Amino acid sequence: MLSSPWCRCLDTARLAFGAAEAWPPLGNLFGRPENRAPQVRELEKLVGQRLPAGNLVLVSHGSTIDALTGVSPAPGELVILTPQGGERFTVAGRLTAG
C-alpha cells in the first residue's frame, strides 16, 4: 500500500487498508507541471512490474493518474492497471462508487 504524501490520501489509505507508506511520486501534479515527467517515470517503473503474488494498491490524485494513464478519474474512482513488464502497463478497467 503506497500513498501520496498528501494527508487526505494518507487518511484514505489508512481508513481503507489500515496502513500506508507515503511515496512522493504519487503526489499531486495539479499546478506542478515541472514534476510531471520525473513522477510519471517513477510511476511507470512501479506499475509496469509484475508482482509474484497479490496486488499493489496506490492512492493518489486525479492529476497524477491522468498524467500516468490518460484517464481522468472521478472523485473516489478506482483505475485498475495490469502490469505488462518493464515500464509497460494497460488500463484494465475503472470502478466507481455507487
- Return the domain boundaries, the chain: 2-95
pLDDT at 4: 97
Q: pTM score > 0.85 for this model? A: yes
Find the length of the chain.
98
- Paired sense of beta strands 2-3 and 58-59, if any: parallel
Q: Summarize the confidence of residues 16-45 as an average pLDDT.
A: 95
The helix, strand and coil proportions of the chain, stated in percent and rounded to the nearest 5, come to: 40, 20, 40
Would you put residue 31 in left (φ > 0), alpha (ψ -120 to 50) or beta?
left
| Percent of residues, the chain, with pLDDT higher than 90 | 94
The beta-carbon contacts of 10-17 under 8 Å, at least 24 apart in sequence, are 10/59, 12/59, 13/57, 13/59, 16/59, 17/57
Q: How confident is the model at residue 76 (pLDDT cuts 50, 70, 90)?
A: confident
**Mean pLDDT of the chain, nearest integer:** 95
pLDDT at 36: 94
What whole-number distance in Å separates Cα of residue 75 and Cα of residue 77? 6
What whole-number distance in Å separates Cα of residue 95 and Cα of residue 42? 24
Q: Summarize the confidence of residues 21-45 as an average pLDDT.
A: 95
pLDDT at 20 over 80: yes
Q: Summarize the confidence of residues 54-67 as an average pLDDT.
A: 95
